[in-house]
């Protein structure tokens, strides 16, 4: 999974982009919470990735770029779509139908921990250090504190479905960790961040559409409210299309360990809004 040597420090531009990405992905907790109240998770996932693809493809050609045709690159798109979209989106969306957003934010903040471990074993230039581990644990503790004691109480008193919802978020965090390391290869392959984002969500759409059609039968679903439509539009435009352009820009320059810091920043933002006692 090693995608070539990168620098392991972040400059000011990287940090600004990371904060912006945290805001875009932090808002996804709200959008998901609204959307899954009216439509099933698989259908919402397809709307999210397909909507992002519809936005990104015309943008690529408007900017004078071209999508790669190399089968090797497209196989990488499908790998990234599976690890970074299909698996974690389905698990996160389903998990949030059984647990509050505050609990989900704590569990999602474990992504950097898993990334440090995965990158240590699968890369040559992002080895685990005591500083990395201490920083991630400190950030995780901050998310727990800001989210509030109520979330921990909910976790401790969880029933079976709540427990399964929590485990779904944890597995999603592990999938994101592998995606961060896997995605390093696009820099070596010479694929622009915009094209990588479009390829990933296109591949995820192809993977998820048949499943959603078979399981959810979306043609039988009722028309969602304007609020749910707005939430799904926010997911597609802000939390997916724009967010993944920024994600792959940071990943190509600063690496998997640094990009996954966004999960703690986004969950800090989420914790300020979606405290468990408001659920």
- Note whether residue 6 is domain-resident: no
- What are the start-end ranges of the H helices in the chain? 12-35, 41-62, 71-81, 87-95, 101-108, 111-122, 130-147, 149-156, 160-182, 185-189, 193-216, 226-236, 243-254, 256-259, 262-273
What is the tens place of the pLDDT at every residue in 172-226?
Answer: 989 998 998 898 889 889 898 899 999 999 999 999 999 999 999 999 999 999 9
- Residue 33 vs residue 267, higher pLDDT: 33
φ, ψ (nearest 5 deg) of residue 183? -70, -15
Q: Check residue 272 and give its pLDDT.
A: 44
Structure tokens at 97: 């139908």
Domain hosting residue 36, numbered range? 12-278
Q: Which two tokens stand for residue 260?
A: 């996954």
**Is residue 277 scored above 50 in pLDDT?**
no
In a domain, 255, yes or no: yes
Within a domain: 4: no
CA 73 to chain centre: 21
Model confidence, pTM: 0.80
Which pLDDT score is estimated for 98? 83
Asked if residue 142 belongs to a domain, the reply is: yes
- Angle, in degrees to the nearest 10, between helices 101-108 and 149-156: 90
Q: Answer whether residue 1 is part of any domain.
A: no
Sign of CA dihedral 59, 264, 205, 96: negative
**158-167, 228-237, 243-252: least confident range:** 158-167
For residue 19, is it within any domain?
yes
Q: Decide if 188 contacts 2 (C-beta within 8 A).
A: no
* Range name among 11-25, 47-61, 132-146, 201-215 with the lowest pLDDT average: 132-146
Output Rg (C-alpha) for the chain, integer angstroms: 18
Give a yes or no: residue 100 inside a domain. Answer: yes
pLDDT in the model for residue 112: 77
Say how far apart CA 267 and CA 276 lie, in whole Å: 13
- 72-81 residue pLDDT tens: 999 999 999 9
Six-digit token string for 231 = 């939430």
Structural domains counted in the chain = 1
Query: Does residue 240 fall inside a structural domain?
Result: yes
């Amino acid at each position: 999974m090693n995608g070539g040597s990168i620098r392991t420090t972040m400059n000011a531009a990287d940090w600004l982009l990371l904060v912006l990405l945290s805001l875009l992905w932090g808002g996804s907790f709200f959008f998901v919470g609204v959307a899954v109240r009216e439509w099933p998770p698989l259908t919402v996932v397809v709307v999210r990735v397909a909507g992002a693809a519809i936005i990104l493809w015309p943008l690529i050609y408007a900017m004078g770029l071209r999508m790669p045709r190399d089968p090797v690159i497209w196989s990488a798109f499908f790998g990234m779509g599976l690890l970074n979209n299909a698996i974690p989106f389905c698990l996160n969306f389903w998990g949030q139908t059984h647990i509050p957003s505050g609990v989900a934010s704590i569990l999602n903040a474990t992504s950097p921990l898993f990334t440090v471990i995965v990158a240590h074993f699968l890369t040559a230039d992002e080895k685990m250090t005591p500083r990395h581990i201490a920083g991630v644990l400190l950030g995780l503790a901050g998310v727990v504190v800001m989210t509030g004691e109520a979330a921990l109480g909910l976790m401790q008193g969880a029933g079976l479905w709540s427990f399964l919802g929590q485990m779904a978020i944890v597995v999603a965090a592990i999938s994101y960790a592998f995606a961060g390391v896997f995605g390093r290869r696009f820099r070596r392959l010479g694929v622009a961040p915009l094209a990588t984002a479009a390829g990933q969500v296109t591949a995820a759409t192809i993977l998820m559409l048949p499943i959603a059609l078979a399981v959810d039968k979306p043609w039988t679903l009722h028309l969602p409210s304007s609020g749910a439509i707005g939430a799904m539009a926010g997911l597609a435009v802000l939390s997916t299309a724009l967010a993944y352009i920024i994600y792959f820009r940071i990943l190509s320059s600063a690496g998997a360990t640094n990009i996954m810091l966004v999960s703690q920043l986004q969950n800090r933002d989420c914790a300020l809004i979606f405290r468990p006692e408001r659920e």
